Amino acid sequence: MVLNGYNKLIFKPNNFNISELSYPQILREPIIKINDYYIVSPELLLDSLHINIHYSLLESEKTRNEYKENSAIQFVDDIINISKKYCYIEIQRELELYKKKNKLGDIDLILYNKNKNKYLLIEAKNHSLPLAVYHGDLIAIKEHLERLKISWEQKVLNRLEHIKQHYDKYNIGSDFDYIIVSKYPEIISHTSNLLILAIKEYEYYLEHSALGFKQINQKMYYEDKLSHNDLKTLSEDFTNFTFF
């Protein structure tokens, strides 16, 4: 059997590293060769399709920038579609902020709710987490948090303070919330004075207005998930575990 042009999809055991915290190599190389035979699993090929297309577009110099730009636009569109359900309409995208001649950055999205006479100023973070952070490496998570504090948080706080003082300059009412909506949950959400919500948390925020991050985090991830009876059943099923 000849697989011309498919060498990139053939699993290479020498490249496999069991301790590497990245996407499973089998998803990039889903065809397994054993001697002169090839094992091809339709399910594995389908599973590999999305991740291979995604990383191939990101890795190619010809497509990388356009792909990232289109992905960012789609992420903002997703935020808008969620917001519409709660009577927020789009006013403006990419509002540039200036302090005299110094550029402070931009606000990705301005939304307005006529019924509440309230504005939402949103910075959209369509960034994927570093792979080690995504897979729960504690050292990588700590380092990621420090990077965000040093290189990102203060810049956002500066923009927020500027908007508080000059909202009328940008035709924004005084009643507004400044929110960072991220593709994935960010560890800095737990420590920052900024309201930083993953997109799923953002919809919960709109549905239950005026909740801060701590309340959202508690209600979404901890409250009413498992009853006492549920825990008792689990402890009986898994006799080696103790549930507190």
Residues of the chain with CATH 3.40.1350: 68-211
Q: Which two tokens stand for residue 24?
A: 């499973």
Is the domain covering 68-211 a CATH 3.40.1350 domain? yes
Q: Cβ atoms within 10 A of the Cβ of 108, count?
A: 21
- pLDDT tens by residue, the chain, 244 residues: 445 556 788 888 887 877 665 667 888 888 888 888 888 888 888 888 888 888 888 888 899 899 889 999 999 999 999 999 999 999 999 999 998 888 999 999 999 999 999 999 999 999 888 878 887 889 999 999 999 999 999 999 999 999 999 999 999 999 999 999 999 999 999 999 999 999 999 999 999 876 888 888 888 887 656 666 766 676 666 555 544 4
Among candidate residues 191, 165, 197, the one with its CA nearest the CA of residue 83: 197
SS3 123: strand
Q: What is the pTM of this model?
A: 0.77
Angle at 167 between CA 164 and CA 170, to 5 degrees: 145
- Cα–Cα distance measured from residue 7 to residue 26, given in angstroms and rounded to the nearest whole number: 13
